Structure 1
Amino acid sequence: MPLAGDPRPRTAWTPLTGPAHSIALEVLLDGPLPRIELARRLELSPGSLTRLSRPLLDTGLLVETDSVCDPVSGRWTRPLDVDESAHAFVGVKLTADTAHAVLTTLRARVVAAVEAPLDGRAPAAVAATVARLVRELAGDGLERLRAVGVGLGGLVDDAVVRSALYLGWEDVPFGALLEAELGLPVVVDNDVLSLTRAEQWFGAAGRCTHFAVVVVGAGTGHGLVVHGEVLDRPDAGVGLLGHHPVDPHGPLCPEGHVGCAEAVLTTAAIELRAGLALRRAVTFEQVLELADRDPLARRVLDDAARSLGTLIAAVANTAMPEKVVVSGENARLAEVAHDALWEGIRAGRHRLASPLVVDVQLTGFAEWARGAAVTAIQTFVLGRRR
């Protein structure tokens, strides 16, 4: 079944279900893989694997790599892999004033990155800017471009942006607007969910079926994967975790909540508190640089990291994930104030609770855009977002 709006026949990843597709997906996520390992994972006989993989090799979806010696059987074998450069994808992260775009392979390896300021926030103008970046990235390889993914902070429902406050959008069919500009399939997703999908398939949580992503930056948010599926609920774009209380003595957020994550952990919140303490305006990056030599900067960061630990503990206590991935522009907070972070985590966890795995992933706008590309890749490969 082709993606909605795709004018070209879809052949490379059909069928979308069944053993043949399972073989292709295993190879995509973990390849190159020896045939004996593939057969073991999928509980197939060697004969069945050969029969099912032959059409995939004939169409070029799978390729054989150079011969290697299998450490288990001692036999020489040619592992199966995908030709990841045969399919290209573009991911776009929209902020209030800039479009950040990356070109990736089928495995979400970033090949090129560009960005451009938005010429106003009118949906048509934003679509025109994004389309220009897509064409710039694709260059002469437009025929390899399969889909475009767009990630933004807000509530998204089937490529319609129901609400994106920082863009001033309500009920904007942005996916349809961009498809009309490009003649390519477009998927639009909440940016935190896209980042979660990227960690699931090609990131720190690869092959983990139950994990959480906690994002701290201009805003706060989280994504959950349970039984291998991203929890893509209508409330995912509302930013519910941002209003979880982390400091009973903290400041007010714009919604009037005392000491919630939005009031304590965002870039603006940390910069404001540090500016008051240091009696001058400072950026988040400057506060990080000052941490080792200025006790006031260190206090601001430690307090924030302790609150982040409280937030992580709350997510771990309620969702009970195998691991928590900390990401976003302010993820360095978890490294620079590591001890304070774990003070907050330990204070919020039961002494008999399982040890918590916390994986810190430093994220810039290119990584956010890559997340949007992964949403496009998943939709292309699965016929849906996972």
Structure 2
Amino acid sequence: MCPKHVRPLVTAPAGTSVLALLLAESPLSRVELARRTGLSSTAVTKAARPLIDDGYLHELPPERTAPGAGRPVNPLAVTVDREFFVGIKISADALFGVVCDLRAGMRVTAGRRLGEDRGPEAVCGLLCELVEELLGADRAFRERTRRLGIAVSGDVDRRAGRVRYSVLPGWRDVPLAGMAAAATGLSVTVENDVKALTAAEHWFGEGIGTEYFALVTIGAGIGSGLVVDGRLIAGAHGVAGEMGHVSIDPAGPRCHCGQIGCVEAIASSDAILASVRGATGRTDLDFDLAVELARDGNPAAVEAFARAGRAIGKGIAILVNLIGPERVVVTGEGLETYDLLGAHIQDSYAAHCFKAAANCPLTLRPLPWEEWARGAAVLGIQALLP
């Protein structure tokens, strides 16, 4: 298949501002759009016209106004089914896929278990099958889908479309965007999974309306994504905001990244399990049994979770001290053990925040794997803008 090379839908700053705001908060009147973007009403109308003509926006029936208040206003809204977007989340043992509309509404979901071969070629083959299944769910999906977003853990070079390092599938320097584009015929964006989830939460979730926002994931890994001045931050080398690999204990365990005492080396599910096994001498334990021990009051298991909670809280405090977000969302499969971690996270967070920074609330938000795939689809939606 020949991949589709898709240009941004809008290129002018005015069009970008209007479309971005409507994607997040549609419908809005032209007056409100002008107020929120700082544009004149004339500029808003001019920016919206080609998007209306191309079917991406439409006018709603006029709203009633008070007598003498002037002409009724026609709010502008996004035409959500004008274009669709596929999102795929690559996890350690499965692929999760969704088709989303223009405002990130999930229309259909599907998945694939990974086989024994976790190499890039094998995974890309399954990914292509999953995309075909998703697009085959509705004729409109196949006709109106041009973009595919892929989310994967680790060090991802979004501009180059390469996975530089991912511990879960065990990949190094994989040109995933090119491989997936050739296999599916779609325009492909590849991003770190936590950054993709952060983008979705900022545009369509808990972060709507914030200029400074952070998301932290706890579980098999410890990840984070940052929004500064309204933009997702990747940094000069694409790894900005890697809270999980902040070293907080020089006497701590070695992390898979090579450093000593990273938050992830102390607080990931595997790290907690290793700590419980080492303290109890029970090498037969799996994570679920370690959780049971902690809930039954086993001192070694309780302390392993407490230590993990303190590490997470300290890591979040470092993030908050550095960028000052308005809100931090905490999510990930680790929320299932928040009864063992939560008090320690909150106490450590409060202890290490600098003064007023502690006013930033931590919001718990359980998100299933399909939401991570939705985050990947949001990468395609964001590609509408330069």
TM-score tier, shorter chain, comes to 0.7 to 0.9
State the Cα deviation string for residues 257-293 of structure 1 (Å, max 9, x = none).
5543122210112233345667562435x66677665
SS in 1 for 2:111: strand
Q: Does 1:221 align with 2:219?
A: no
Say if 1:122 and 1:352 are closer, same or farther in 2 by CA, change over 3 A: closer
Say if 1:201 and 1:353 are closer, same or farther in 2 by CA, change over 3 A: closer
Counterpart residue number, 1:382:
385
Q: Quote the Cα distance in structure 2 between the aligned partners of 1:359 and 1:172.
A: 35
5+ residue gaps, structure 1, are none
Q: Does 1:344 align with 2:339?
A: no
Q: Which amino acid is 2:20 matched to?
A: L
Q: Quote the Cα distance in structure 1 between the aligned partners of 2:353 and 2:26.
A: 38
1:171 aligns with one of 170, 173, 177: 173
Contact 2:3-2:184 at 8 Å conserved across structures: no
User: TM-score, normalization: structure 1?
Assistant: 0.85
2:74 aligns with one of 74, 78, 87: 78
SS in 1 for 2:318: helix
Say if 1:156 and 1:63 are closer, same or farther in 2 by CA, change over 3 A: same
State the Cα deviation string for residues 164-191 of structure 1 (Å, max 9, x = none).
2433333222211111111111111111
How many Å apart are 1:209 and its aligned residue?
1.6
Number of aligned residue pairs: give it: 375
Contact 1:209-1:228 at 8 Å conserved across structures: yes
1:179-198 mapped onto 2 (5 Å cutoff): 179-198=181-200
% identical equivalent positions? 36
5+ residue gaps, structure 2, are none
Q: Does 1:123 align with 2:120?
A: yes
SS in 1 for 2:315: helix
2:12 aligns with one of 14, 17, 25: 17
Contact 1:67-1:77 at 8 Å conserved across structures: yes
Q: Does 1:330 align with 2:328?
A: no
Say if 1:129 and 1:309 are closer, same or farther in 2 by CA, change over 3 A: same
Q: Quote the Cα distance in structure 2 between the aligned partners of 1:43 and 1:254.
A: 47
How many Å apart are 1:17 and its aligned residue?
1.6
Q: Does 1:358 align with 2:362?
A: yes
Q: Does 1:99 align with 2:102?
A: no
1:312 aligns with one of 310, 313, 316: 316
Q: Does 1:321 align with 2:317?
A: no
Counterpart residue number, 1:41:
36
State the Cα deviation string for residues 306-327 of structure 1 (Å, max 9, x = none).
2211111111122333332222
Greater alpha carbon shift after TM alignment, 226-235 vs 262-271: 226-235
1:301 aligns with one of 302, 305, 313: 305
Counterpart residue number, 2:134:
137
SS in 2 for 1:151: strand
CA RMSD, Structure 1 to Structure 2 (Å): 3.1
Q: Quote the Cα distance in structure 1 between the aligned partners of 2:346 and 2:66.
A: 40
Q: Which amino acid is 2:92 matched to?
A: A
User: TM-score, normalization: structure 2?
Assistant: 0.85
How many Å apart are 1:90 and its aligned residue?
0.9
